Structure 1
Amino acid sequence: MKMKSNKQLDILDTVVGAGSTFEGTIKTEGSVRVEGKVLGDITCSGDLTVGASGNIEANIDARNITIAGTISGNVRASGIVHIEKKGHLLGNAHMKAFIIDEGGIFEGESKMDDFNIEGNKKLEIAAE
């Protein structure tokens, strides 16, 4: 399996601008920024950033997820989910690390796992 370079994952190749609404599924090898509204699922190999004016009603799978706006749906990140001070996550979260700034809102269940590089599989730790 060919690994994606971090450079490719860091490229912001999809933007939903303020005042725009996107209905459907977004799948990308890069990163996504949402300042408008998205109704549908998002799968991106890179990072998802939801700006202050962003509103997403979807299930999300991404490397890292930063929320300054609102997500209504379940999220899965192989890295970090970060809810900023005015961000809202209304749904379940499954990730490696979780940050909620003071003032950020999370309503749902959370599960933290160790993930390996080749996919979202839990690392097994051998008993000594």
Structure 2
Amino acid sequence: MKKSHGTLNGFLDQGCSIKGEVVFSDLLRVHGHLAGTVSSEHELLVGEGGVVEGEIAVGRLVVAGTVRGTVRAKERVVIHGTGQVFAEIFAPTLVVAEGGVVEGPVHMTRPDKAEAAAS
């Protein structure tokens, strides 16, 4: 998996789960299970084996695990070959590697429209 930008701000390891509202700055890596609302101006990275379910509003989303719900990304969504996204996606840029799965409506918004959709 390509190296991410930003300083690691939080890490949820395999075997750990959180339910509720998560707000973070910089970079959050999820290799466990996170259910609820996730918001940040920066990057959420869902690693292999990681699962995020719910409302996601971030600057960038990188998926090598599984995401379910609604995704609003101001900059881009990147889905690696092991990534699976079962969600409605709002983002100006969507990158899907060979083997990556996207199931659900995709709205390719201009950056200014993605910000409006996130609010």
Q: TM-score range by the shorter chain?
A: 0.7 to 0.9
For 1:1-128, list aligned pairs within 5 A: 10-116=6-112, 120-121=115-116
Name the SS of the counterpart of 1:120 in structure 2. helix
Bigger Cα Rg: 1
Name the aligned partner's letter for residue 65 of structure 2.
G
TM-score scaled by structure 2?
Answer: 0.87
For each residue in 1:69-106, what CA deviation from the matched residue of structure 2 results, as whole angstroms up to 9, or x when unmatched? 00011101011101110110001000010011111111
Q: Distance in 1 between matches of 2:25 and 2:83?
A: 25
Q: Which runs of 5+ in 2 are unaligned?
A: none
Name the SS of the counterpart of 2:115 in structure 1. strand
Q: Which runs of 5+ in 1 are unaligned?
A: 1-8, 123-128
* Count of residues paired in the alignment: 112
Q: Please, what is the CA RMSD of the aligned residues?
A: 1.7
Q: Which has the higher contact order (CA 8 A, sep 6+)?
A: 2
Question: Which one has a larger percent strand, Structure 1 or Structure 2?
Answer: 2
Give 1:110 deviation, angstroms.
0.5
What fraction of aligned residue pairs are identical, expressed as a percent? 26
TM-score scaled by structure 1?
Answer: 0.81
